[in-house]
A and B are shown apart, each in its own frame.
Chain A
Amino acid sequence: MMPHLWPMVRKEFIQMRRDRLTLAIMVGLPVVQLLLFGFAIQTDVRNLPTVVLDQSRTPESRDLVAAFQNTGNFRVVAHVDDRPALDRAIERGEAQAGIVVPYDFPRHLARGTTAVVQIIVDAADPLASQAAINAAVGVAEVRNLALLSRAAGRAAVPLEARVRPRYNPGLRSPNYIVPGLVGVILTITMVLITAMALVRERERGTLEQLIVTPITKTELMLGKIAPYVGVGLVQMTAVLLLGRFVFAVPLTGDVVLLYAIALIFVVASLSFGLFISTLVRTQQQAMQVAFFFVLPNILLSGFMFPRQAMPAFFQWIGLALPLTHFLKVLRGILLKGVGVAALWPQVAVLFGFAVVMIVASVRRFHKTLD
C-alpha cells in the first residue's frame, strides 16, 4: 500500500533539515509569540490612573476614596481643586478615571438621604474601562449594604451571592490566552508551510520531474504533510512547557488525549495549506492566501474575542474554522480537565475537515503542467 510514500516522506525530511532558516522560524516563532502574547495581553485592566476631586474633605470622604483605591482598579495619581482641572486631566490622558465627592457628602450620610458620588471613566476603550466601572458599582453596593444594615440594626446582610469562577479561579489572562495560543501558532505555521509546498516544487522545476514518475497524487500529498506533523507537535510541546513554567498555566486534563486530538488538528491545518498550494501558481500568492486565512482564525475563533458576542453570521463563519473547535478542546482539556466524552463533536469536525481537505487537494492537483 502506497509504496512511494516512504521515499517521499524521507525526501521531505532531508529537505526540512537542510532548510535551517525555516526550521529556526518554526521553533523560534512559538517561543516569541508566546512571550509576546503572554506578557502583553492582559485583558483584566487594573490600576487605572485616577484623579480625585474631593470637595468635602472630611474623614468620610477620604475613607470612601480609600475604598475605591482598595479595589485595585483605581490608582490615585493626583488630587485636583475644581471640575475643569479634573476634565483636563482626563482629556490629556493623564488619568483615565475621576472620582468626585460632593460638598454635601457627609451631610447626606448623616441625614440618611442619598449622597451622589460621581465616577467619571474614560470608556473609549471598553475593555479597559469595564473592570473599573464594575468595581465602582461594587464599592457603592458594599457601602450601601453596610450602612443600611447598621441602620436596620442587623449584624448580617440578608443575602450574599458567592460567585466562584470555576476552571480559572484567579480570572488570569494567561490561563485563557496560552491554550488558545497553541492553536493559533499551529494554524499559522502549519498552513503556511504546506501552502508553499507544491508551488515551491513548481517554481523550482522539480515538480515536472516528479510527476512523470509513478508516484500517485495521494502519495504526493501525504508525503508533503507527514514530516510536518512532527514539527507541529514539537511546537505545541514548546508552548505548553513555557506556558506551564513561565505563566503557571495549569495542565489539568489528559495530556495524551490532547496530543491525539492535536494530531488531527495539525493534519487538518496542513491539508488546508496543501489545498491552498493547489490553487495558486507562485509562493508569493500562497503566502497571501495563507495570511488571508489566518486573520479570521485569530478574530473569529474565540481566541481573543468571545464568540457569544458575535452576530450569528460571524459565529457561523467561526464554526467553519478548525481552530474554533480545537480551542474548545485545548481549553476543555487544559483548564477543565474534561475527557473525550465531552469533546467528541469537536474531534469529529476536525477529522472531517482533514479528510475533506486532503480529498479536495488530491482532486484539484493534476499530474500535468497545464
Chain B
Amino acid sequence: MIAASVETYGLTRRFGAVAAVRDLTIRIEQGEVFGLLGPNGSGKTTTIRMLCGLLEPSGGSATVAGIDVSVAPEQIRQRIGYMSQRFGLYEDLTVSENLNFYAGIYGLTGSGRRARVAEIVAFVGVGNRLQQLAAELSGGWKQRLALGCALLHRPAVLFLDEPTAGVDPAARRSFWRAIHELAAEGTTVLVTTHYMDEAERCQRLAMLSGGRLIALGTPAEVAAQVGGKTLEDAFILLQERDEQ
C-alpha cells in the first residue's frame, strides 16, 4: 500500500456560526495530483489553509506527511510548499532576492543554496528576469516565481490555491506540465481550481459545495456522481443549485 500523504477525517472549520468546511474526509496518496473543485465559497481555500497550519480546525483531524496539523503545525512547515491565491511574495524585491530570501528561510546556505536556487531558476524558467522587481512581472511570471519559491526546500506536499487565476493559456499549460513533472518525482500536489480543463488534468478530484464533499473520484467519476455528462455540466449544475 502506498503511504497516504494527506489524510483528513471529519475536518471542520467554522467562522462564527458559519461552517466553511463541514466534515471533510479525504485521503491523498503520495505522488498524486489531487484537485479540489468547487464554486467560490465552497471551502477550498479554508481546507488548504487548515492543511498548511494557517487556520486551526474547529473539529476533526488532518495529517500531512504523517504529521497531525493540530498537534505539530510547525513540523509541517519544512515539508510543505504553499502558493496562496493572492501573490504572496515581496513586490519590492527582485526575482533573485525573493528566491534567495525564501531559500534562506528554508534553511539553505552557502553553495547548497546557490545550487538549489540555480536549479529552481532553470525549472521555472525565470533566468532572464532575475534582476526584475516582482511588482513588474506579469501574472504568468509571478506565478512561476511563486511556484519556484514554494519548491526550494523540496517539499513532500505542494499546496496550490488557484495557482492559475489570471494567467494566460500558454502559461497555464507549461505550469501544468511542471506540476506533473513534480508529481512524477514523488511530490504530492493538492490544487484548487475552478477551471474545468485543469480539473480534467488531476488524477482524482474532490468536489465541494457549501463546505461539504459532494463527489470524490476521477474526473469522469465525479461528473457521473453529480449527474452531468462532463465535468463542466456537473460544475454548472452544482453552481445553479448553490445559487438557489
Q: List chain A positions with a Cβ less than 8 A from chain B.
A: 3-4, 6-8, 10-11, 14-15, 18-19, 204-206, 208-216, 367-370
Question: A-contacting residues of B (Cβ < 8 Å)?
Answer: 49, 52-56, 73-74, 77-78, 80, 82, 84, 86-93, 97, 100-107, 109, 146, 149
- Closest residue of A by beta carbon distance from B100: A7
Q: In the complex, what distance in Å separates the CA atom of A328 from the CA atom of B113?
A: 48
How many inter-chain residue pairs (CB < 8 Å) link A and B? 78
Q: How far is the CA of A367 from the CA of B73 in the complex (A)?
A: 9
Q: B77 is contacted by which of A6, A11, A18, A212 (Cβ under 8 Å)?
A: A212
Listed from nearest, the 10 A-B pairs whose CB atoms lie closest are A7-B104, A209-B88, A214-B77, A212-B82, A205-B86, A11-B101, A213-B105, A369-B54, A18-B92, A214-B78
Given A11-B97, A19-B92, A208-B54, does the pair A213, B106 have CB atoms closer than 8 Å?
yes
13 inter-chain pairs at a CB distance below 8 angstroms, sorted by A residue, are A10-B104, A204-B91, A206-B88, A208-B88, A209-B88, A212-B53, A213-B106, A214-B77, A214-B106, A214-B107, A367-B53, A368-B53, A369-B49
Q: Which residues of A contact B104 (CB under 8 A)?
A: 4, 6-7, 10
Residues of B within 8 A of A15 (CB): 90, 92-93
Cβ distance B81 to chain A, nearest Cβ, rounded Å: 8
Task: List chain B residues, Cβ under 8 A from A6.
Answer: 104
A8→B88 CA distance, assembly (Å): 16
User: Assuming the A-B contacts A4-B104, A11-B101, are A212 and B90 also in contact, with contact meaning beta carbons closer than 8 angstroms in the complex?
Assistant: no
**Pick from B49, B92, B100, B102: contact of A213, CB under 8 Å:** B102
Instruction: Tell whether, in the assembled complex, residue A209 and residue B84 are in contact, meaning their CB atoms are under 8 Å apart.
Output: yes
Known A-B contacts A3-B107, A214-B74, A214-B78; the reply to A368 vs B55 at CB < 8 A is: yes
**A11 in contact with B90 (CB, 8 Å):** yes
Identify the closest chain B residue to A16 (Cβ). Answer: B92
Q: How far is the CA of A59 from the CA of B66 in the complex (A)?
A: 105
Evaluate contact between B77 and A368: CB separation under 8 angstroms. no
Q: Which residue of B lies closest to A212 (CB)?
A: B82
- A215 CA to B56 CA in the complex, in Å? 19
- Set of chain A residues within 8 Å of B73, measured between Cβ atoms: 367
Which residue from A3, A7, A205 sits with its C-beta under 8 Å from B84?
A205
Q: How far is the CA of A234 from the CA of B93 in the complex (A)?
A: 24
Are B80 and A212 neighbours in the complex by a CB distance under 8 Å? Answer: yes
Task: Knowing A206-B90, A213-B77, say if A7 contacts B53 (CB, 8 Å).
Answer: no
Find chain A residues with CB under 8 A from B102 CB.
213
In whole Å, how far is B76's beta carbon from the nearest beta carbon of chain A? 9
How distant is B143 from chain A, measured CB to nearest CB, in Å? 13
Q: Could you tell me if A10 and B93 are in contact, using CB atoms closer than 8 angstroms?
A: no
**Residue ID in chain B nearest A15 by CB atoms:** B92
Chain A contacts of B56 at CB under 8 A? 368, 370
Please tell me which one of the listed residues A8, A19, A209 contacts residue B89 in the complex, with CB atoms under 8 A apart: A209
Shortest CB-to-CB span from A165 to chain B, Å, is: 52
Q: Are B93 and A7 neighbours in the complex by a CB distance under 8 Å? A: no
Q: With the chains together, A312 CA to B103 CA distance in Å?
A: 54
- Which of B49, B80, B92, B97: most chain A CB closer than 10 A? B92
14 more contacts with CB within 8 A, not counting A213-B77, A369-B49, are A3-B107, A6-B104, A7-B103, A11-B93, A11-B97, A14-B92, A15-B93, A206-B88, A208-B54, A208-B88, A209-B82, A210-B88, A211-B54, A212-B53
